[in-house]
């Protein structure tokens, strides 16, 4: 376990109830099957969420080093700098100082909460720590509102997850199309994209270049 970060404010636009729902995740299932095909390979995994016994237990089936980013709650509060202000320093927000390169990044729904102008910088920060061909798994909202803060996800099986929204406000979802996301995430290309019944788009990106 490693890595940590800090705060942010969000504008609530509508009340949101605390709710839980299960969702199928075929791209995640495909990723798990890929990892299982090389049981002797040691994987280096970065989870951008807070430490979760559920996540750690699920990935304990693999030979892996599991790094905790605990950065998702910070992303909604980051804003592009105003004139003469410095850019957010992602090396401090999410220090990636491990000796080994990453094979997998678990972003959950966090990419929806980072300002569009900061997403390329954040992506470059991540990709510098990745092996060629490394994966990034993410959920992107495609319609309407989303909870004001990233949701908590629980892995029930390789193809089913449960997500839990905290009670609080809602904000508009950015609803990125795939071509826009790939432009905003230089070096990452979508290898799988699945539209789920609840309007979430599940992505599995792969590192193509540095």
Average model confidence (pLDDT) for the chain? 89
Give the C-alpha separation, 65 to 10, whole Å. Answer: 33
Read off the pTM: 0.89
Angle, alpha carbons 146-14-195 (nearest 5°): 20
CA distances from 110 to 20, 50, 63, 128 (A): 17, 12, 26, 19
| Domains and their CATH numbers in the chain | 17-207 (3.40.50)
pLDDT the model gives residue 85: 87
Angle, alpha carbons 64-32-174 (nearest 5°): 100
**Tens of pLDDT, residues 76-86:** 999 998 888 88
Sequence-ordered alpha helix ranges (H) in 22-154:
26-36, 53-59, 90-93, 119-127
The answer to whether 23 touches 161, Cβ cutoff 8 Å, is yes
């Amino acid at each position: 376990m490693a890595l940590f970060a800090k705060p942010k404010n969000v504008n609530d636009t509508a009340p949101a109830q605390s709710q839980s729902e299960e969702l199928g995740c075929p791209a995640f299932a495909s990723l798990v099957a890929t990892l299982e095909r090389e049981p002797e390979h040691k994987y280096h995994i970065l989870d951008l969420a807070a430490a979760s016994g559920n996540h750690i237990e699920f990935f304990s089936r693999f030979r892996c080093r599991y790094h905790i980013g605990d950065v998702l709650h910070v992303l909604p509060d980051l804003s592009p700098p105003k004139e003469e202000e410095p850019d957010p320093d992602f090396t401090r927000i999410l220090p990636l100082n491990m000796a080994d390169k990453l094979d997998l990044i678990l972003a959950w729904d966090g990419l929806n909460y980072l300002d569009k102008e900061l997403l390329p910088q954040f992506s470059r920060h991540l990709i510098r720590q990745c092996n060629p061909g490394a994966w990034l798994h993410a959920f992107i909202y495609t319609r309407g509102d989303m909870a004001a803060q990233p949701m908590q996800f629980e892995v029930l099986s390789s193809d089913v997850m449960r997500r839990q929204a905290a009670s609080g406000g809602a904000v508009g979802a950015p609803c990125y199309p795939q071509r826009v996301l790939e432009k905003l995430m230089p070096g990452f290309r979508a290898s799988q994209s699945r539209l789920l019944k609840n309007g979430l788009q599940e992505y599995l990106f792969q590192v193509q270049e540095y």
